[in-house]
Amino acid sequence: MHDDPTDPQRHLRDFIVTNFYIPDGQPLDEVTSFLDAGIIDSTGVLELVAHVESRYGITIADHELIPSNFDSIGALARFIQRKRGRDGGSNGGFNDRLAR
Amino acid sequence: MIHHPCFLLHSFLAESAARSPDAIAVVCDGQRTTYRDIDRRSNALAHALAARGVERGDRVVILGDNTIDTAVAFWAVLKASAVASIVHPQTKPAKLGTLLRDCRARALIADHRLEPAFAEPARSSPDLATVMITGTTADARVAAACERLAALPGLTALADAIADAPHDAPPPRRCIDVDLAAIIYTSGSTGEPRGVMMSHRNMVAATASIASYLGIARDEVILCVLPLAFDYGLYQMILAFSAGARVVLERSFAFPAEVMRTVADERVTGFPGVPTVFATLLGMDSLASYDLSAIRYFTSTAAALPVKHIEQLRRRFPAAKLFSMYGLTECKRCTYLPPEDLARKPDSVGIAIPNTELWLVDECGRRLGPDQVGELVIRGATVMQGYWGKPEATARKLRPGPLPGERVLHTGDLCRLDDDGYLYFVSRTDEVIKSRGEKVPPREVESTLLEISGVREAAVIGVPDELLGSAIKAFVVPEPGVVLDVSVLQRECRARLESFKVPHHIELRAALPRTSNGKIEKSELG
């Protein structure tokens, strides 16, 4: 899949639409809250984190796993851009660190 | 202490509000709400419901997240002498419609943000006379929603209804304690919803029992990250209210760092979770950065907590007690393992909760001795009144007990007792999978898959999963000549099922293994 690496919004929207249930009549714009609209719950957040980590090669620390970074397409796109501007490599993200 | 001859579930709120009106009852979304405020708001909402025709014994469905509105609505329904049923906010429209029709709901109180979920089912539920949506029409978004939903019966904005009603006292009490307080929906083995009927007396008895072994005190601050729609979540609020203590409502554990900051800031003393929550907690890289010294106890239920997580919790929180518990909605809870026994019996689910008795029976109903595996039977004041509108399913679970007319609960769970009388869970007699601590009936997932065009056969099993306990795995056989896309199947499931029932893994097969009489042989899948 091709997307503009400087703006992940379109790809994120595709991922959300493909992988989660958007009720009929539910708008999904840049600011729609995933949690308020019942689009994503706690397991969904983990799936989203795993996807973002692998696709964008970033590592998400648990202090970054907060609604202001993850609860809408716009917030998540901005977060990814900030992260990619700051660090590149990945060495085991949130999902890899679950207690084993 | 129970003073009133007719102590109802909401007497807990009334007593705590009378004793310490200025104490904080609920912390939610950064808002702190006192007992006085909850008491007054629920008084007003109870009047508003009564004014709209809600009568003694009517069912009121509450569709909402862990919010202050959901909490107030629960107590208000009880004060209106009606029966509360809190429904999970992730419930899909078709399922919500089934629930509303099943309990013949008279009123629906719903979070306005869930409009896409309730708009259609609310329109097609014949007994529904009142729909209240959260918020006030002074808010443009709520006003717009009210306009869109104007055709719904008796549509009102909740905050407007509360503002217009008397706050100082609740409506007159109509119930006695054998009347129903709540219907808690759970899944039968085929996935059909079953409304577990709980009387006021059932729920007061369960609260008293649990509060006694946990030692719930007035200075408790109890975290609730579990949905109020499930009894485990709901009882966190009830336990807090029974002691005049505080509950911290969080929507979920999806953003653990944020929750843990609240746990530290609020000096949380009681931390109830399910194994998935503890796996996430123990995996946090920042765990050491929070001051969690106020935590006095952890509780875990819904599925066995892996022994390594028990050990990690004990190492990380040496001063906290860890209660491993087990039960089913039909009697709220069966057993708890006293924390002092955890080291010597880590695999046991413990002993009967106070004021409950248990034993095991074989297929013929004969009582079994130690080390024999049989079905668990529960006797006591917490045993449900039955499944709403399902006399046959009720008769299978509730059977004659030792005293004339008495009914005891046949749980359907296979267990074993050791020589000391400690219980060990062996398996369920039905196929239900526990994933993320929630019940997933394979047959419901299978019939959902079979509704999707191009699917010829489907079989669903649970596979071990580090985080979820069990992950849902589906084996799907396409119709001849049809090419199925796994992600499309998952999306179709998401549109029809609560998210925890959606298969995590789907494997396409040309055929499924069968027994000699043609049944799908699930033991050969994996």
**pLDDT tens across B106-138, in order?**
999 999 999 999 999 999 999 999 999 999 999
The torsion angle over the Cα atoms of residues A75, B87, B225 and B21, rounded to 10 degrees, is: 110
Chain A residues closer than 8 Å to B256 by CB: 62, 65
| Chain A neighbors of B280, CB-CB under 8 A | 98-99
Separation of alpha carbons B137 and B264, rounded Å: 36
Q: How many residues in chain B? A: 526
Q: Do B286 and A63 touch (CB under 8 A)?
A: yes
Hey, are the CB atoms on A65 and B500 less than 8 Å from each other?
Answer: no
User: Which residue on chain B is closest to A47 by alpha carbon?
Assistant: B504
Q: Round to whole Å and give the CA distance between B318 and B296.
A: 10
Q: What is the strand order of the sheet B297-300 is part of?
A: B31-34, B24-28, B246-249, B221-224, B270-273, B297-300, B321-326, B335-337, B351-352
Which residue blocks in B371-413 are alpha helix, DSSP H?
391-397
Locate B178 and state its tokens. 């054998």
The distance in angstroms from the start CA to the end CA of chain A is 33
d(CA B117, CA B110): 10
Give the mean model confidence (pLDDT) for residues B300-305. 80
Please tell me the distance in Å from B359's CA to the nearest CA on chain A.
Answer: 35
Q: How far is CA A14 from the centre of its chain?
A: 12
What is the pLDDT at residue B437? 75
Percent of chain B with pLDDT over 70: 98
| Phi, psi dihedral angles at B132 (to 5 degrees) | -115, 130
Q: Please tell me the distance from the alpha carbon of residue B303 to that of residue B65, in angstroms, as a whole number.
A: 23
Is the Cβ pair A35, B254 closer than 8 Å?
yes
Q: What's residue B514's pLDDT?
A: 77
Cα B456–B462–B466 angle (5° rounding)?
140
**Burial degree of B403 (CB within 10 A; 0-12, 13-18, 19+):** exposed
CB contact under 8 A, B494 and A41: no
ipTM over 0.85: no
N-to-C CA span, chain B: 53
Confidence band for B341, pLDDT divided at 50, 70 and 90: very high
**Closest-CA distance of chain B to residue A7, Å:** 24
> Do B86 and B229 contact (CB within 8 A), yes or no?
yes
> Are B257 and A66 inside 8 Å of each other by CB?
yes
- Residues near B267 by beta carbon (within 8 Å), at least 6 away in sequence: B221, B294
Three-state DSSP state, B240: helix
d(CA B121, CA B134): 17
Q: What is the pLDDT of residue B302?
A: 72
Mean pLDDT score, B223-233 = 95
pLDDT tens profile A17-36: 877 877 777 788 898 888 88
pLDDT band (50, 70, 90) for residue B165: very high
Closest CA to B205 of B369, B362, B380, B34: B380
Task: Report the residue of chain B nearest A39, measured CA to CA.
Answer: B90
- What residue in A sits closest to B465 (Cα-Cα)? A100
Contact assignment for A23 to B117 by CB distance below 8 Å: yes
Q: Give me chain A's average pLDDT, please.
A: 79
Please give the average per-residue pLDDT across B424-439, as a whole number.
80
Pick from B116, B253, B500: CB nearest A24? B116
Tell me how close the Cα of B484 comes to any Cα of chain A, in angstroms. Answer: 15
| Residue B207, H or E segment | helix B200-214
Percentage helix, strand, coil for chain B under 3-state DSSP, each rounded to 5: 35, 25, 40
Going by their DSSP bridges, the two strands B180-187 and B193-199 should be labelled as antiparallel
Inter-chain residue contact B90 with A70, CB threshold 8 Å? no
CA dihedral in degrees (B96, B100, B106, B111; nearest 10)?
-10
E strands, B188-329, are 193-199, 221-224, 246-249, 270-273, 297-300, 321-326
Q: Could A45 and B309 be called an inter-chain contact, meaning their C-beta atoms sit closer than 8 Å?
A: no
Alpha-carbon distance A64 to A60, whole Å?
Answer: 6
Q: Which two tokens stand for residue B73?
A: 């609505």
Q: What is the pLDDT of residues A65-82, one digit of tens each?
A: 898 999 899 999 999 999
Q: Could B491 and A18 be called an inter-chain contact, meaning their C-beta atoms sit closer than 8 Å?
A: yes
The number of helices, as runs of H, and strands, as runs of E, in chain A is 4, 0
Helix (H) or strand (E) holding B40: helix B35-51
- Chain B residues whose CB is inside 8 A of the A65 CB are 255-257
Q: What's the confidence (pLDDT) of residue B518?
A: 65
- Write the pLDDT tens digit of every residue in A50-63: 889 989 999 898 88
